[in-house]
Amino acid sequence: MRTPLCDQLGIEFPIFAFTHCRDVVAAVSQAGGFGVLGAVGFTPEQLEIELKWIDEHVGDKPYGVDIVIPGKYEGMGEMDPEKLEQKLKELIPEQHRAFARSVLSDHGVPELPEGERRHELLGWTAATANPQVEIALKHPGVRLIANALGTPPEDVIQKIHDSGRLVAALCGRAAQAAAHKAAGVDVIIAQGTEGGGHTGEIGSLVLWPEVIEAVAPTPVLAAGGIGTGRQIAAALALGAQGAWTGSLWLTVEEAEAPPPQMDAYMAASSSDTVRSRSWTGKPCRMLRNEWTEAWEREDTPDPLGMPLQGMVTAEAMTRGHRYAKQAVDVLFCPVGQIVGQMNEVRPVREVVFSLVEDYLEAVERLQSLAPSE
């Protein structure tokens, strides 16, 4: 199961695990894979705390950080986070804020304690991502920084390269992958529409070989609906150098998901997801629920673009996570179509090893089909 990218990063298995939970990052890297911490939602100060904790628990194993700098968003060009946040707040219609509050109120979700202040703009822009990159580059264990939306800005790529790290970027079309390669991106992540979070419309089995051919010999990681070793074997057979996974780490023992959210994942089938703009402003795959349905009605506001919609829903995310029992029907539950196979809670190490075993069985099965001499 070893690929050239494994040797380049110093890992045992080409299993990349995207997660917002530091415990999962450390556990995956300790098990031989490559944990990647999603930085969206962390202030620079909070990210420093998270990465310091990972450093202390991952030993000498490498890991990565994922940032979000879209190729296009409202407020591009303003690099002062506070000025940008204030400027963007003025662009948000009150009807959107009122509607978001009404959905929570209708479902009995308690309000946050009076006086509690939370930044609405914690990601989704270059202004907020650049400080996160600066923090990440202070930690020697960070070997790769990935951008989740669009080609990273030239100065960000240069800064990461100057530090001796690799740059990765996700894409949903071959043309995007070619733009990544032309900009100097080292690893391209081809994410099919089956994946959780922000995805395009092309299925994985069509997208992966298109991207691999378009950017060769740049290494490609396959993403989008991967939850078994058999799928990893298929990805490597198509020319990928590894698998970028995310959804299956939402239901491991180390995950931080509140119990109602975990239960929602465990009960869902593969047909229970939807690509919705209702939380971030860009199409994002998540569990369909009363929140996503409410924003789709003809008599309700249309979601705003990124990052405005994310600012509208920032409070809803906080309230939903804090009061998950009351908010169970309106929780933000990003997940891919592999959710239909996520029906038991297991420790990270067991998941990693089961992926490897399943991969080996798939390879042996294919070898048994080869004609004997």
Residue 114 buriedness (CB in 10 A; 0-12 / 13-18 / 19+): exposed
Q: What is the pLDDT of residue 122?
A: 81
One-letter identity of residue 32: G
Give residue 371's pLDDT: 85
Domain map of the chain by residue range? 4-366
Please write the tens of the pLDDT for every residue from 91-141.
Answer: 999 999 999 999 999 999 999 998 776 788 888 899 999 999 999 999 999
The C-alpha atoms of residue 148 and residue 372 are separated, in whole angstroms, by: 45
Contact by Cβ (8 Å): 282, 275? no
Answer for the pair 218, 188: CB distance below 8 angstroms, yes or no: yes
- Beta strand pairing status for 34-38 and 15-19? parallel
- On whether the CB atoms of residues 165 and 184 are closer than 8 A, the answer is no
**Which pLDDT does position 117 carry in this prediction?**
67
Give the model confidence (pLDDT) of 149-203 as tens digits: 999 999 999 999 999 999 999 999 999 999 999 999 999 999 999 999 999 999 9
Q: What is the CATH number of domain 4-366?
A: 3.20.20.70
Q: Using 50, 70 and 90 to split pLDDT, how confident is the model at 372?
A: confident
DSSP 172-224: SSHHHHHHHHHHT-SEEEEE-TTSSEE--SS-HHHHHHHHHHHHTTS-EEEES
Query: Of 60, 36, 33, whose CA–CA distance to 356 is shortest?
Result: 33
Mind listing the pLDDT tens digit for each residue in 299-348? 999 999 999 999 999 999 999 999 999 999 999 999 999 999 999 999 99
